Structure 1
Amino acid sequence: MGLTILFIVIALAIIFDFINGFHDAANSIATVVTTKVLSPIQAIIWAAFFNFVAFFIAKFIIGEFGVADTISKIIKEDIVTSFGANPSVVIMAALLAAITWNLLTWKLGIPSSSSHTLIGGLAGGALASTGFDFSSINIEIILTIVAFIFVAPVIGLLAGNIISIITLNICRNAKPHNADTWFKRLQLVSSALLSIGHGLNDSQKVMGVITFALLANQSAIIDTDMSSWYLNDVFNWKEWFITENSTDIHDWVPIVCFSAIAIGTLGGGMKILKTMGNKITKITPIEGFTAQTASAVTLFFTEHIKMPVSTTHVITGSIIGVGMVKRFSAVRWGVTISLLWAWVLTIPISALIATAFYYFLILFF
C-alpha cells in the first residue's frame, strides 16, 4: 500500500505541474502576444522551450535546486507520523486541493498563484492530519512565503519602474518606429528570460513535493522487492527512489518536472492572458520588454535566495511598475485590487480544500 500511495502522489505531482504550466503560461507570454511580437501559438512554443532550458541552468550553472529544498521542508514528517498519519496521504490531499483550485481559477480566468495554492494545500493537509497542531508545519518558512505575496510584486514593481525609466532615458532621442522595431526583437530575449525564471521557480516546487514523498517512504522502498526479475536484477529500480536528504535529488525528478511544466505551457492559458495582457495597463513593445526583464530579474533573485514566489505576482507587479512610469492613472487599479484579493485568499482557501480532501482520503487509505 505504501508504494502504491507513493506512485499516486508522484502522478498527481506531475499532473499539478502540467496544470501549473498552462495555468501560468500567460505570465511569460502575455506582453509578447499583446504587442504582436509573436502569435499566441508561437509565443507558447517559445515559452515552453525555455521552461525546459531552465533545467540545464539549474543543474549545470546554478548547481542546485534551492527552491525544491525549501518546499520539501514545509511539512515536518516526524510530527505528522507521530500522530499516526501517513505523510503520503497528506501530500495527496495537498495536490488534489491545488489541482482543484488551479482548474477553478483557470476556468474563471483569475491569475492566482499555483505556488501559493500548493503551499496552502500542504499546510492544510498537514494540519488536518495532526488535529490542527501547528508544530506539524514549518511556520517560519510559510510566514516568509506569505510575506512574499506582498514583497515579490513590490520588488517587481520597483524593478519595472527603474528599468523602464532607464530604458526610456536611453531611447529618448530614438524615432518611435525604430524604437518599436528594436524592442519587439528584444522582447524575444526578455520573454525567454522570464520563461527560464518561471521554469526555475515553479518546476522546483513540484520537485520539492516529490522529494518529500520519497523521503517519507524510504522504509517502504528499501523493504519492497518487486516480483519482476527485470526490476530487481537488471533495472535496479531502488537506486531511482532511495534518497538520503532533501538535496539528494535524482536526475529523473527535475527532468520529469521541467518537462511537465513545459508541456503544460504548450496547453496555453488564453483566458488569463487577456487579464495579464491589457486589463492592468496598456502595453507597448518597450513596456513589454521592461516588464518582462524586471520580472526575470526578480525571479532570478528569488531563486538565488531559495524563495518560492508566484510568477503571477511578480509579472503583475512589474506591469504595474511600468504603467506607473507613464502616469499613475494608467494602471487600472480596480483590476489590480481584485487580483490582490485573489492572491490573499489563495492560501487559506487551498488549505481548507486540502483539509476536506484529507478527511475524505483517510476513509480509503
Structure 2
Amino acid sequence: MSLTLAIVIAVVVIALVFDYTNGFHDAANAIATSVSTRALTPRIALTLAAIMNFIGALLGQEVAKTVADVITITDDAGRTLAGLTVNHGLVVVMAGLLGAIIWNLITWYYGLPSSSSHALIGGLVGAAIAGGVAVKWETIVQKVLIPMVLSPLFGFCAAFIVMLSIMWIFRKGNPHKINRGFRGMQTVSAAALALGHGLQDAQKTMGVILLTLVIAYPATYDIETLPIWVVLLAAGAISAGTYAGGWRIMRTLGRKIIDLDPPRGFAAESVGATVLYSTAFIFHAPISTTHTITSAVMGAGATKRFNAVKWGMARTILTAWVSTFPAAALAAWACYEILALFLL
C-alpha cells in the first residue's frame, strides 16, 4: 500500500470519527427541549433524532461543496498547486479534522454546546496556515463568519416573536390542555430540527472527504460531484453518533439556560429548523446547529420574563462560541506540526 493511499484511508476514517463525535456532541441540539419538557423520553428522542439525521444527510450537497472550497490545494484542473505535494495536502486535511475532534471532546466533557461546524472550519484554517496552504478568506467571511453572527441573532428574535404570538393566540386557553397539545407538536418540531441537523452537519464531513479525494485522485473525483458512498458513510456515522447521545450537553440546553415548557420548546425547535433549512438550501452556508437552537431557546425563554434566562450560563456558552474557531485552529496547527514530523 502506498503512503498516499494509507493517508487517504486514515483521513476518511478520522473524518467519520469527527462525524460520529459531531452526532453525539450535537444530538442534544435536536432533542434537549423535547426531553426537558417531557414531550419525549430520552431514548425515543435519540432514536427519532438518529433516524432524521440520516434522512437529512441524504437531502443536499451544497453545504458539502462549500466546506470543500474553504482551502485551496488544487487548481481548476484538479492539479496540486505548485510547492505542494499530494501528501502535504492530505496531512493538512487530517490535521484540521484532528483539531476539530479535540475541541469537540473538550467542550463535550464540560457540557458546553459549542459548534462542531466552526470547529471543523477553524481546524481546516489552522492546519492550512500551518502548512502554508491558501485559505479562501472570502468564502470564510461570506459563508461562515457572517452567518455565524446573523443566525443566532435571527434565531433569538424569531423565537421571541413566535413565542409571543403563541402566548397571544392561546391567552384564554386552558394551560394544561395547551401544554399537552404542544407536547404532541414537539414530536414534529424535534424531528424537523433533527432533519436540519443531518442536512447541515453530515454534509460538512462529506465536504472534507470529497476534498481529500480530489487532492489524492483528481482524475477520478471533482469538487462538484459527491460519490454516493461518501454520502451514505457520513449519514451513517452522524446517525450512529446521535444515537449514542450527548447527555452532558442535553442538560445544559434543557435546564441550565432556562426551564422550558412545551410551547417554548416548540417555538425554539420550529425556528431552529427553519433557519437550518433556509441557510442550507438558499445560502449553502455551513451554519452552526448549536448556535441556532441555543439562541432560539434563549429567545423563547425570554418571553417568560427576561431574567428567567440564566444569563451567566449564556455568557459561558458565548465564550465557548467565540473560542471555538481559534481554539480548533490552534489545536489543528499543533496536530499538523506533529504529523509533519512523521508523514512529510
Shorter-chain-normalised TM-score: which range? over 0.9
* Unaligned runs of at least 5 residues, structure 1: 59-63, 223-241
Instruction: Indicate conservation of the 8 Å contact 1:323/1:331, yes or no.
Output: yes
Look up the equivalent residue of 1:82 and give its one-letter code: A
Q: Distance in 1 between matches of 2:278 and 2:298?
A: 19
Look up the equivalent residue of 1:338 and give its one-letter code: T
Q: Distance in 1 between matches of 2:81 and 2:96?
A: 16
Instruction: Indicate conservation of the 8 Å contact 2:120/2:328, yes or no.
Output: yes
Q: Distance in 2 between matches of 1:164 and 1:188?
A: 17
Look up the equivalent residue of 2:149 and give its one-letter code: F
Which residue pairs with 1:273 in the alignment?
A: 250
How big is the shift at 1:253? Answer: 0.9
**Aligned counterpart for 1:24 among listed residues 23, 26, 31:** 26
Which residue pairs with 1:322 in the alignment?
A: 300
Look up the equivalent residue of 1:83 and give its one-letter code: G
**Aligned counterpart for 2:319 among listed residues 328, 338, 341:** 341
Which residue pairs with 2:224 in the alignment?
A: 247
1:124 aligns with 2:122: no
How big is the shift at 1:55? Answer: 3.4
Equivalence map 1:107-146=2 (5 Å) = 107-130=109-132, 136-144=134-142, 145-146=144-145
How big is the shift at 1:48? Answer: 0.5
**Aligned counterpart for 2:71 among listed residues 71, 75, 79:** 75
Q: Distance in 1 between matches of 2:238 and 2:224?
A: 21
Instruction: Indicate conservation of the 8 Å contact 1:93/1:354, yes or no.
Output: yes
Look up the equivalent residue of 2:259 and give its one-letter code: K
Equivalence map 1:1-365=2 (5 Å) = 1-56=3-58, 58=59, 64-78=60-74, 81-85=81-85, 86-130=88-132, 136-144=134-142, 145-218=144-217, 242-243=220-221, 245-304=222-281, 305-365=283-343
Look up the equivalent residue of 1:249 and give its one-letter code: L
Q: Which stretch of the first structure deviates more once superposed, 139-148 or 255-264?
A: 139-148
TM-score (norm 2): 0.94
Q: Distance in 2 between matches of 1:205 and 1:150?
A: 19
Q: Distance in 1 between matches of 2:40 and 2:74?
A: 50
Q: Distance in 2 between matches of 1:119 and 1:20?
A: 13
What is the SS of the residue equivalent to 2:71? coil
How big is the shift at 1:169? Answer: 2.1
4+ long deviations beyond 3 Å? 78-81
Look up the equivalent residue of 1:277 and give its one-letter code: G
Look up the equivalent residue of 1:263 and give its one-letter code: A
Instruction: Indicate conservation of the 8 Å contact 1:149/1:343, yes or no.
Output: no
How big is the shift at 1:40? Answer: 1.2
Q: Distance in 2 between matches of 1:287 and 1:211?
A: 39
Look up the equivalent residue of 1:25 and give its one-letter code: A
Look up the equivalent residue of 2:205 and give its one-letter code: V
Instruction: Indicate conservation of the 8 Å contact 1:83/1:129, yes or no.
Output: no
Q: Which stretch of the first structure deviates more once superposed, 118-127 or 76-85?
A: 76-85
CA deviation map 1:145-203 (0-9, x unaligned):
12322211111112211211222222222211111111000000000000000000000
Instruction: Indicate conservation of the 8 Å contact 1:119/1:347, yes or no.
Output: yes
Q: Distance in 1 between matches of 2:256 and 2:141?
A: 30
What is the SS of the residue equivalent to 1:362? helix
How big is the shift at 1:67? Answer: 0.4
* Unaligned runs of at least 5 residues, structure 2: none
Look up the equivalent residue of 1:138 and give its one-letter code: K
What is the SS of the residue equivalent to 1:326? coil
Instruction: Indicate conservation of the 8 Å contact 1:26/1:273, yes or no.
Output: yes
Q: Distance in 2 between matches of 1:344 and 1:356?
A: 20
